[in-house]
Amino acid sequence: MTELYRHYALILASVMVIAVLAGLMGGWLWFTSSLCLALLYWLVVYWWHLAKLMRWLERPKLRNAPQGLGIWHTIFSVLIAQARSRKKRKQKLGVALARFNRIAETIPDGVLVLGSDGRIQWLNHLAAEHLNLDPVHDRNALLSEVIDQHALQQLVSSNSSEINTVQISMTTPQGLPRVLNIIRTPFEAQATLLISEDITAAEQLNATRTAFVANVSHELRTPLTVINGFLETLAEFTDLPKAQQQEFIGLMHKESQRMNQLLTDLLTLSRLENQAVTKVIRKPVNLSELVYQLVAEAENVSKQRHHFKIDIEPDVWIKGMAEDVYSALSNLVFNAVRYTPEEGWICLSLHSKPDQPDWVQFTVQDTGPGIAPEHLPHLTERFYRVDAGRSRQNGGTGLGLAIAKHALAEHGGCLSIESQLGKGSIFTASIPKWLGESVIEETFSVKSHNDIAVLDK
């Protein structure tokens, strides 16, 4: 306002000066002419500044800010200061919005905002992934139209002001099952917030844990029942013949060995699963030397009941943990020895993959009874057996192939299985080679202890 009063005072002073000069120079005619010329000059200056203002308002760039005279200088200065302030606020809002979006995208749960009409107003990428939505095309779509879940629709339509939860089952685009926990919470007067949590792994873990406990209980119950029965018999009939007592003791010893092997395999499998999330020290391993020792152990277990064909490429190295590699490969070899009938053939080979020279594959081929196709996808599951009675009779625990799968995965490898009923099976372990320039020599000695292969460095 001070600048405006100054402007008015300047105009009034200008009129008074013109009037005084007009009186001195010749009267009212001169005064009127001078006043008209001054008014014309003022109008030209006014419209010139006004045009500059209009051009700048159409494209308000600070670097092209107009400059003015008199009160127009003040007007332009105020407008430029306001534009700078708005630009700073806009930048701050943009930074805050970008930060909010980053936070929303890094939240480990899906977040979805619904309007009062049930339309999707906003969602992060996890919500889109959980609910199989397209974050672009499904924006503003009715949730009830894009997701056919009765429980979810009931949750959304609820007028409760409290936090409600529902669990739904969906299918991923790849056809895999997915279990979601959906939490509904009031967000605004005209909006609802949905939070989705993928609990598929937890549900699968609970199911696996239940099945695991049931399987372990079943596996331990059988030998314990046998041992308990023989102990009761020996305690009740103290005068049993010596030969029969020795037979009972031998059977109890065999069952106790099976329990010991089961516990050993369980500990091995647990360690391999834990190593998937912990740092493991890896060293160069001479795979050729390890396989040669496996062959010697297999021939010792076979006791000349089988024919062996060996084809091992020399000086093949990998980088990893020798104990875990041995666990994987020994399970494949000893399974072949257990299930191949007498006079059958067992072929062991170690070679670089023809199509991938940087990979090595260890193959165990036998002429055993073979495996039906419906069993092949389940062979690496814990305690899965094609023939449970025969497996227990041969000393198997049902964990060997699960151990092999996890041990190979730990080294970036994989296990493939081919089999035909009546013709035999082929188990192939593929592992990346170690191509280091220098090799650290390591020696291995394999001991057979109660038919359980143990590797010592």
* pLDDT at residue 86 in the model: 83
CB 436 within 8 A of CB 284: yes
102-121 pLDDT per residue, tens:
777 778 888 898 888 888 98
> How many other CB atoms sit within 10 Å of the CB of residue 332?
24
* pLDDT at residue 289 in the model: 93
* pLDDT at residue 451 in the model: 35
In the numeric block, the tokens 């030969």 are attached to 243
**For 90, how many CA atoms within 13 A lie in the half-sphere containing its CB?**
6
pLDDT over 70 (residue 393): no
pLDDT bracket for residue 364 (50, 70, 90):
very high
Distance between CA atoms of residues 166 and 152, nearest Å: 7
CB 404 within 8 A of CB 327: yes
Sheet holding 120-123, edge to edge: 120-123, 110-115, 191-198, 177-188, 164-171
**Which DSSP string do the residues of 255-298 spell out, in sequence order?**
HHHHHHHHHHHHHHHHHHHHHTTS----EEEEHHHHHHHHHHHH
CB 233 within 8 A of CB 226: no
Q: Which residues of 157-172 are buried (b: 16+ CB within 10 A; e: fewer)?
A: eeeeeeeeebebebee
Distance between CA atoms of residues 220 and 258, nearest Å: 9
Q: With H, G, I as helix, E, B as strand and everything else as coil, classify residue 424.
A: strand
In the numeric block, the tokens 């073979």 are attached to 370
Sequence-separated (6 or more) residues with CB below 8 Å from residue 193: 111, 112, 113, 114, 184, 185, 186, 187
Q: With H, G, I as helix, E, B as strand and everything else as coil, classify residue 444.
A: coil
Better pLDDT: 233 or 100: 233
Distance between CA atoms of residues 447 and 294, nearest Å: 10
Residue 323 is which amino acid? E
205 closest CA partner among 120, 273, 123, 118: 273
pLDDT over 80 (residue 15): no
* pLDDT at residue 457 in the model: 28
pLDDT over 60 (residue 84): yes
pLDDT bracket for residue 56 (50, 70, 90):
confident
What six digits make up the tokens of 32? 């009127």
What six digits make up the tokens of 280? 């493991």
What six digits make up the tokens of 339? 């299930």
| Strand-pair category, 445-449 with 283-286 | unpaired
Distance between CA atoms of residues 87 and 434, nearest Å: 58
CB 302 within 8 A of CB 340: no
pLDDT over 60 (residue 445): no
CB 428 within 8 A of CB 361: yes
Question: How close are the terminal C-alpha atoms of the chain, in Å?
Answer: 93
What six digits make up the tokens of 224? 């314990």
* pLDDT at residue 22 in the model: 63
Radius of gyration of the chain, Cα coordinates, nearest whole angstrom: 42
* pLDDT at residue 446 in the model: 37
What six digits make up the tokens of 262? 């089961």
The answer, as to whether pTM is greater than 0.75, is no
Q: What share of the chain in percent tops pLDDT 90?
A: 16
Distance between CA atoms of residues 168 and 20, nearest Å: 93
Which range has the worst mean pLDDT, 24-38, 223-237, 254-268?
Answer: 24-38
* pLDDT at residue 344 in the model: 92
pLDDT over 70 (residue 390): no
pLDDT over 50 (residue 379): yes
Distance between CA atoms of residues 249 and 61, nearest Å: 97
What six digits make up the tokens of 425? 């099976």
| Average pLDDT over every residue of 295-309 | 91
* pLDDT at residue 63 in the model: 62
Sign of the dihedral through C-alpha 359, 364, 365, 368: negative
pLDDT over 60 (residue 45): yes
Residue 396, CA distances (Å) to 105, 269, 387 in order:
48, 15, 11
Distance between CA atoms of residues 122 and 106, nearest Å: 15
